[in-house]
A and B are shown apart, each in its own frame.
Chain A
Amino acid sequence: GEDVEQSLFLSVREGDSSVINCTYTDSSSTYLYWYKQEPGAGLQLLTYIFSNMDMKQDQRLTVLLNKKDKHLSLRIADTQTGDSAIYFCAESNKTRAGNMLTFGGGTRLMVKP
């Protein structure tokens, strides 16, 4: 079945850039997503990218997709303490009913002042 992998933890200093990486196995993935989860809260959709794109930028967020290597990354520029959270990578395939998502294990981002 589909598998999505992420590193568990990332620590950066405030003002630096953060890069969170993700790999996936489904070569038929249609969409790839980044979600943010703060403690005790649900998931917030940060951004997504279609599989026919290489890059997407949205304010401080830059998503890079290497489809050949099945590698997705999220870069957060000028990281702030409010960015501390768990970031989940997810993928889906439009052939799955309702566009069901497969999630990675999450990367805990800690931003030090």
Chain B
Amino acid sequence: EAGVAQSPRYKIIEKRQSVAFWCNPISGHATLYWYQQILGQGPKLLIQFQNNGVVDDSQLPKDRFSAERLKGVDSTLKIQPAKLEDSAVYLCASSQMSSRGPYGGTEAFFGQGTRLTVV
């Protein structure tokens, strides 16, 4: 079974530039997550999708971050314009939909992440 695919693996940009990350979840997984992980901290949930809809985006800095999930499959996360403090690893994960709720009793699978450095 193919895992969660993310690209690119590494990205270096200058501040105020824009950047986009791509995620292809495991086939059939309805729930998709994007996380930001700053060095030394736990992953911070940015946005959670269930199919095409947004379950939670309360921690997404909407003035500069945006995310979409096309046809309930692939997803892109964009930052425009980037700031120095956006330097982090961006992780994508997916899980099967559960009758218990958007995340209930299911296992989430994570991609390798994209390491973003803003200089």
**A complexed with B:** no
Which B residues contact A (CB, under 8 angstroms)? none
Which A residues contact B (CB, under 8 angstroms)? none
